[in-house]
Homo-oligomer: A and B are copies of this chain.
């Protein structure tokens, strides 16, 4: 034993679970417990609310659901022989006769028994989060002790502010902090998480492990990228983004203890032990764990490469699409291909997510479809290797005009006739969906959706809106990224080069109705994502009239967004649960009166 360093082997199970899939989640958790035991880990951790999937939303209001989660937890706990397992689950405390309080819990199991449950202390109730709708906040920053070594568990939000971790280290004497998260992605979030975890480690002279869920759930993508950071804030290990992984690391406990002792100025706890909050797990061997004297081949820590800014957005869109399609039981998807850039990008992402054999491009030309657009859609489909079909809308459109001619008598053509075309396409795509069981992917981008430049039940008709949170300017960056990745024009240059058009009337251009996207997108970002006021935007140099027009368009089209399909959040504030605006809303919508 002499000379051997005491290490603690932690396995972070960055798994892709599914909301409500209690059987599937159970099987995956047990499978990973077995893998961790084979890897001779001392502890395995699973993400926040693993048993239920995250976020379970109002399933949590069903007592039967919470009860079944608890049954699954009991089964899983019995599988933990020879190690410690930390598992997120909804924890109902109290007997059915009393008031039952629900907590966002982390079960701590050891060698087949449930030892303790940590209750999440900080409950996020902003942005996409509604945790105060469901959970009571815990109030005990407890720590765990095994063989004289102390570590602590906390859950997601708990680590984003200094308090909980500081309590666990200062009063509790924890050397290692394990945070189990289900932290949703937006662009740049991974780096932000890494900086935050490093700060928490340095503040406390503690090793910090952050385990994050991976996978898509409705509008959210969980990006994984679990982290282990040393007490000096340096990265020890990192799991990949957007993939499952079992990130296993040896944490050198002697090193941390030595480091902490040597830092005289440090206030990090050196045994100031608040016994009331310490959950004792016994000695290593009593705990059913590996004998410390037994040799274990040391692990080489893995630091996965991070994707580029655009690369990670692409990764999020691919995973979000794949998981929405598959978890909802679909095999194939249909996409209306117009020859424009938005439908091209959606097709590319669908192919990356599902393979070309599962993507059907549907061309629905009209009298306003240019030859170039038809050629571009054809050429893109060939490059992607996807099946296509052509269903022209001309005859149907003529029939609508005939049928409506009596009631429309004396009226000039206007946007009505444009919308009729878009809705014919929506109807045709949905007919294909009904007949063949394909999920329809819609192609609207965030710029269009923000200002309502879309036809409700027309181009917005479909099950999943892949790029609904991607501004148009970023759509172009994604095209560039994919063409660079492909080493050539996977997306034909003419698609990228041409001026955007809905092709619903002769010579139509998006800029007939909208400011250029280079001007529009920053205003949308300032107004929607940053909640800046008209005055702030004007003071920052945006054109006053353009700002007023954009604000008006954004608020006037809330009703369209309320009926739009879900799609993947990639920005700090997506339309959806992130931004809950009234439809009936006269703020700045009327001319100033009085």
Q: Which residues of A contact B (CB under 8 A)?
A: 18-24, 26-27, 55-59, 61-65, 125-126, 130, 132-133, 216-218, 323-324, 327-328, 389, 391-393, 395-396, 399-400, 402-404, 407-408, 411, 414-416, 419-420, 423-424, 426-428, 430-432, 434-435, 456-457, 461, 463, 531, 533-536, 559, 562-566, 579-590, 592-594
A559 engages B461 (CB within 8 Å): no
Distance from A319 Cβ to chain B, minimum over Cβ atoms (Å): 13
- How far does the alpha carbon of A435 sit from the alpha carbon of B588 in the complex, in Å? 26
Identify which of B393, B457, B586 contacts A24 (C-beta below 8 A).
Answer: B586
Identify which of B19, B395, B581 contacts A57 (C-beta below 8 A).
Answer: B581
Q: Among the interface residues A27, A411, A456, which one has the most CB atoms of the partner chain B within 10 A?
A: A456
Number of copies: 2
- How far does the alpha carbon of A317 sit from the alpha carbon of B395 in the complex, in Å? 41
A-B residue pairs, 3 tightest by C-beta: A20-B587, A64-B533, A21-B586
B395 engages A20 (CB within 8 Å): no
A423-B427 in contact given A19-B586, A584-B328, A589-B20 (Cβ < 8 Å): yes
B65 engages A584 (CB within 8 Å): no
| Residues of B with C-beta under 8 A to A531 | 61-63
| Residues of B with C-beta under 8 A to A218 | 582-584
B414 engages A400 (CB within 8 Å): no
- How far does the alpha carbon of A540 sit from the alpha carbon of B435 in the complex, in Å? 39
A582 engages B23 (CB within 8 Å): no
| Residues of B with C-beta under 8 A to A582 | 19-20, 55-57, 59, 217-218
B404 engages A399 (CB within 8 Å): no
Distance from A72 Cβ to chain B, minimum over Cβ atoms (Å): 11
Identify which of B132, B420, B431 contacts A132 (C-beta below 8 A).
Answer: B132
Identify which of B23, B403, B435, B594 contacts A392 (C-beta below 8 A).
Answer: B403
A581-B407 in contact given A400-B396, A419-B430 (Cβ < 8 Å): no
B23 engages A592 (CB within 8 Å): yes
| Residues of B with C-beta under 8 A to A435 | 408, 411, 414, 416
A-B contact pairs, 7 of them (CB 8 A): A20-B589, A24-B586, A26-B594, A125-B125, A133-B580, A392-B403, A562-B566
A59 engages B587 (CB within 8 Å): yes
- How far does the alpha carbon of A521 sit from the alpha carbon of B534 in the complex, in Å? 48
B391 engages A403 (CB within 8 Å): yes
Identify which of B23, B132, B400 contacts A125 (C-beta below 8 A).
Answer: B132
| Residues of B with C-beta under 8 A to A415 | 434
B328 engages A583 (CB within 8 Å): yes
Distance from A342 Cβ to chain B, minimum over Cβ atoms (Å): 19
Known contacts A57-B580, A395-B403, A463-B559, then 10 further A-B pairs from the complex at CB < 8 Å, ordered by chain A residue? A20-B588, A59-B581, A64-B534, A130-B133, A328-B584, A391-B403, A391-B407, A399-B399, A423-B430, A457-B457
| Residues of B with C-beta under 8 A to A581 | 57-59
B419 engages A391 (CB within 8 Å): no
Q: Among the interface residues A21, A419, A423, which one has the most CB atoms of the partner chain B within 10 A?
A: A423
B57 engages A324 (CB within 8 Å): no
Distance from A130 Cβ to chain B, minimum over Cβ atoms (Å): 7
A396 engages B403 (CB within 8 Å): yes
- How far does the alpha carbon of A64 sit from the alpha carbon of B531 in the complex, in Å? 9
| Residues of B with C-beta under 8 A to A63 | 531, 533
